[in-house]
């Protein structure tokens, strides 16, 4: 399919590109493609960024048949534009699509469309160290119909948001609240996908955690509320007695691309790492035994987020004296180095746009 390009005739004034907030400003263009049953995906186009016009009966407003992805483009010092493992995002988007009864995308085509979009809006990529163009592909159901069934029509879009450092004041350890009342999801449901409902369900617990002074919640499994699953928008890793452990992919947690990259790096470095079931009691026992050495979250937005405090019921666990751990720092430096081009890309993770 050929992608038609309509350039804006009224480029927007760019915001100050230093210390940009996350996900608030959007670049001049967006990619759009439609789907109709019997016709497939059609009319791929890059057009000026602008509003969608949808009937109030559009299914996305009622039954949340919607999925999304998130990835970043960086401009390296030599001016090249770099994407981090973009094929993985569109492969995962197809996993989400399958669970949500949404038609699949052609992964190669999507990466190509993304490259064209980012190339066109390359002036929107902030050059401040660690800043990036956050890229948000998403699909919404657009049938004008109130029955509960898969939509026959969809829109796929990619929008781009220049975003500053996730932690403008540096990589400070965050405080995480272990959620023991609310549940995010359960095996058999949609926890392994990036669908809106998982996030809608998570908002209330997050609001309460914020009020208590915690930046995010750590979810426990939906069946027994005993096993660690993931943090609000990140996967979670622990270093216990020299071994790095992270919850296994059990159908209710997201298969994060930063998670995957972290595991691959640790294996390459010869650091013991395992994916398995981890109870919160085990974490607390390790803490009490002085063996909980590091804890960090992984996700596209923050990349690596050191955890300095975990609160579980009445137990407050201060980790590594609230300092960034050695492995945490090394993973952060390596992934951001590869993303921005200051370190060699030995794993072939980066796709350059130009």
Distance from C-alpha of 242 to C-alpha of 58, rounded to nearest angstrom? 52
Tokens read off for 217: 């919640």
Binding a second copy (rule: CB under 8 A), the pick from 28, 66, 293, 309 is 66
Q: Where are the alpha helices (DSSP H) in 157-256?
A: 196-211
**Position 104 contacts a second copy (CB under 8 A):** no
**Position 118 contacts a second copy (CB under 8 A):** no
Residues 13-32 close enough to bind a second copy by CB under 8 A = 22-24, 26, 30
Binding a second copy (rule: CB under 8 A), the pick from 79, 188, 213, 272 is 188
**Position 80 contacts a second copy (CB under 8 A):** no
Distance from C-alpha of 65 to C-alpha of 45, rounded to nearest angstrom? 23
Q: Which of 284, 277, 282 shows the shortest CA–CA distance to 253?
A: 277
Binding a second copy (rule: CB under 8 A), the pick from 150, 275, 291, 330 is 150
For the bound state, the minimum distance from the C-beta of residue 319 to a second copy, rounded and expressed in Å, comes to 24
Distance from C-alpha of 107 to C-alpha of 85, rounded to nearest angstrom? 12
Distance from C-alpha of 295 to C-alpha of 280, rounded to nearest angstrom? 13
Distance from C-alpha of 147 to C-alpha of 338, rounded to nearest angstrom? 47
Binding a second copy (rule: CB under 8 A), the pick from 159, 176, 209, 244 is 159
**Position 254 contacts a second copy (CB under 8 A):** no
**Position 65 contacts a second copy (CB under 8 A):** yes
Binding a second copy (rule: CB under 8 A), the pick from 197, 329, 330, 351 is 197
**Position 207 contacts a second copy (CB under 8 A):** yes
Choose between 157 and 260: whose C-beta lies nearer to a second copy.
Answer: 157
Cβ atoms within 10 Å, residue 224: 8
Binding a second copy (rule: CB under 8 A), the pick from 203, 248, 343, 347 is 203
Distance from C-alpha of 305 to C-alpha of 70, rounded to nearest angstrom? 17
Taking the CA atoms of residue 76, residue 86, residue 173 and residue 322 in that order, the dihedral angle to the nearest 10 degrees is -100
Binding a second copy (rule: CB under 8 A), the pick from 223, 316, 343, 347 is 223
DSSP track, 156-174: EEEEEEEE--SSTT--PPE
List contacts with a second copy (CB under 8 A).
22-24, 26, 30, 49, 51-57, 60-66, 68, 99-101, 134, 136, 138, 140, 144-150, 157, 159, 161, 181-190, 195-204, 206-207, 222-223, 225, 232-233
């Amino acid at each position: 399919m050929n992608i038609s390009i309509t350039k804006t005739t009224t480029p927007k004034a760019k915001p100050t590109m230093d210390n940009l907030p996350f996900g608030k400003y959007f670049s001049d263009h967006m990619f759009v493609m439609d789907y109709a049953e019997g016709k497939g995906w059609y009319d791929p186009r890059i057009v000026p960024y602008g509003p969608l016009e949808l009937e109030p009966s559009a299914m996305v407003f009622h039954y949340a048949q919607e999925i999304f992805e998130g990835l970043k483009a960086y401009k390296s010092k030599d001016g090249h534009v770099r994407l981090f493992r973009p094929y993985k995002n569109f492969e995962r988007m197809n996993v989400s699509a399958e669970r949500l009864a949404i038609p699949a995308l052609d992964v190669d085509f999507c990466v190509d469309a993304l490259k064209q979009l980012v190339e066109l809006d390359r002036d929107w990529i902030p050059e401040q160290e660690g800043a990036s163009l956050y890229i948000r592909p998403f699909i919404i159901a657009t049938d004008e119909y109130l029955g509960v069934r898969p939509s026959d029509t969809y829109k796929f879009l990619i929008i781009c948001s220049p975003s500053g450092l996730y932690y403008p004041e540096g990589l400070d350890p965050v405080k995480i609240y272990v959620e023991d009342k609310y549940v995010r999801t359960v095996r058999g449901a949609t926890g392994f996908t990036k669908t809106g409902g998982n996030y809608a369900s998570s908002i209330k617990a997050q609001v309460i955690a914020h009020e208590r002074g915690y930046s995010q919640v750590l979810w426990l499994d939906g069946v027994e509320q005993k096993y660690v699953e993931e943090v609000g928008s990140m996967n979670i890793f622990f270093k216990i007695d020299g071994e790095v452990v992270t919850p296994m992919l059990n159908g209710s947690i997201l298969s994060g691309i930063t998670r995957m990259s972290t595991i691959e790096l640790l294996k390459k470095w010869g650091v013991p790492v395992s994916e398995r079931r981890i109870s919160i009691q085990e974490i607390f026992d390790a803490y009490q035994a002085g063996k909980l050495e590091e804890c960090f979250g992984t996700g596209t937005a923050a990349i690596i987020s050191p955890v300095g405090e975990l609160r579980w019921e009445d137990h407050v666990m201060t980790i590594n004296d609230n300092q960034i751990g050695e492995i945490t720092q090394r993973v952060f430096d390596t992934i951001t180095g590869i993303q921005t081009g200051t370190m060699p890309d030995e794993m072939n993770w980066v796709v350059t746009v130009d």
